[in-house]
Structure 1
Amino acid sequence: MAVLIEGISVVIKVESIFSKYPGGWGQFKQEVPNKTLCSDNELARVGFMAPDDVRHYCNFLSTKGLIYLADGQAQDIVVADQIRGFTCKCTWAEFGHVNLNDNSNQKITACRILNSDNYQVFIPVGWSYEHSLSKEHTFIENRNIKNRTIPLENENNLDTFLDKKAGDELYLGRTSRHQSPNKKSFFVRLKQIIGTIGLKKN
């Protein structure tokens, strides 16, 4: 079995949630900061679009007794980037691409426990390929941000930008904010965000 990987995903061993997380699975589910949770009963996945939100959530999980890294290797948690794969060495899970429902026009990225022989991919409740990062996302390198995008607004944990090159509106979902959204700090944050994963078209 496997879980969907989109944007930057935090993947956690389910057995670690049951054995270490105070309150177990029930409390873990209540404290997930967005609606991207999915699980195949071996791995749980929570997705993000901004690196700062990933760091914030991994730090939060560490306060609950889950260990991200030890000696450069993933322990209870591994971070997977939709484009680049695992961000550190992981000996207990594998990352790859599959066709959703055997449809070659709907390629998605997934992660499963190592040596699993079940190919079913679990997705978040309410997720659809048509409105997903798997179908369409935009990746913008750091050096191109100022020339390529214009910040438009941020409201309800959603940052909106104009892609000057394509003329499209782009959006970036957020789960945490550590700076006020004035133009200066907003653009510094934007540099960190887009250079790592990219934005979803509206």
Structure 2
Amino acid sequence: MAVLVEGYSIIINKAQAMKNQEALSALASVEGTLHPMAICSDAGLLRIGFMDMRDANEFVMALESAGLRYKSMENGEEIARDIVMVTQFGEIEVTCPWLNVHFTKLKDDTLICVAALQSEEKIDGVAFPKGWAIEVSILKRFYEERMHHMQENYAWVREEPMHDIYRNNDSGEEVRLLKLKFSDVAKNS
């Protein structure tokens, strides 16, 4: 199974967290303060979604102060240990050897980012927050905010079935923004 990734998602490796009683206590202490629509889990992962990066970073710091590890160096490379932050656009700032992130679409063609423990097994479903609906989701609100930012600061170049392509006005670099809905458009050159 996999978990839905929305907004800034803090993903916790449950097996690692279970080894740390202080971390479990920290999670239990904040459980009541988190909106139920921000939480989902499968057998191996717990995901908490945030709209604001500052809130997500504060949550990571609280987990780290309780003993979970976010980043560490291994063979000269920074990697995620017990927790990692992933955006709904699949952005991840450090290598995470225990996590597989990919995109899929729902029956209504809504594009979603999902995360699963690294495994050779096929993903057989996605865990959503209880009562999840696209209209009131972090997924939709986060997408709308990112679109507003892109339209103000980037030039639209072309459309692909899963992405809108924008050009950075300063650097000329192209940026791919995952759409909210899949579309059967022909790729433009």
Q: 1:130 to 1:80 in 2, by over 3 A?
A: same
Change (3 A) 1:104 1:14: same
Gaps of 5+ in 2: 154-189
Pairs within 5 Å for 1:97-136: 97-100=103-106, 103-115=107-119, 116-135=121-140
1:31 is matched with which residue? 30
CA contact (8 A) 1:8 1:51 kept: yes
- Structure 1, unpaired ranges of 5+: 146-202
TM-score scaled by length of structure 2 = 0.67
Q: What is the CA distance between 1:10 and its match in structure 2?
A: 0.3
* Alignment partner of 1:70 out of 69, 72, 91: 72
Letter in 2 for 1:15: A
Asked whether the 8 Å contact 2:90–2:101 carries over to 1, the reply is: no
Aligned length: 143
Percent of aligned pairs with the same residue?
Answer: 26
Q: Tell me the residue number matched to 1:10.
A: 10
Deviation (angstroms), 1:13: 0.3
Other-structure match for 1:93: 99
Other-structure match for 2:22: 22
Query: CA distance change for structure 1 residues 23 and 69 in 2, over 3 Å: closer, same or farther?
Result: closer
Secondary structure in structure 2 of the residue aligned to 1:111: strand
TM-score norm. by structure 1 comes to: 0.63
CA separation of 1:138 and 1:27: change in aligned 2, threshold 3 A = closer
Q: Compared with structure 1, are the counterparts of its residues 121 and 30 closer, same or farther at alpha carbon in structure 2 (3 Å cutoff)? A: farther
Question: Which residue type is aligned with residue 122 of structure 2?
Answer: D
DSSP-derived class of the 1:105 partner: coil
Partner of 1:55: 57
Alpha-carbon distance in structure 2 between the residues aligned to 1:62 and 1:84: 23
CA gap of 1:131–1:51, structure 2 versus 1, over 3 A, is same
Q: Is the aligned partner of 1:137 residue 2:141?
A: no
Partners of 2:135 and 2:79 lie apart in 1 by: 35
